[in-house]
Amino acid sequence: MLWTNLRNQVRQKPLPKWKPLIPLFEPVLQNLRRLLAVTDPTRRWISAIGLAVAVGIAYFLAARLSLSLLTKSDGVAVFWPASGVAAGALIALGPGARWPVAIGAMAATIVANLLGDRTFAGATTFALCNAGEAMLTAGLIERRFGSDFSLERLRDVLGLVAAAVFGPPPRGSVGLWDLSCSTARRHRA
Q: Is the pTM of this model over 0.75?
A: no
- Residue 10 phi/psi, 5-degree rounding, is -75, 135
Tell me the pLDDT tens digit for each residue of 88-141. Answer: 888 888 888 889 999 999 999 999 888 877 788 888 988 888 898 888 888 888
Range of the domain at 32: 1-37
Residues in contact with 14: Cβ distance below 8 Å, sequence separation at least 6, in sequence order: 1, 3
Residue 82 phi/psi, 5-degree rounding, is -65, -35
**How do residues 41-85 score in pLDDT, each as one tens digit?**
787 788 888 889 999 999 999 988 887 777 666 666 667 788 888
Query: Same structural domain for residues 24 and 56?
Result: no
**Same domain (yes/no): 154, 96:** yes
Domain count, the chain: 2
- Asked whether residue 168 falls in the same domain as residue 115, the answer is yes
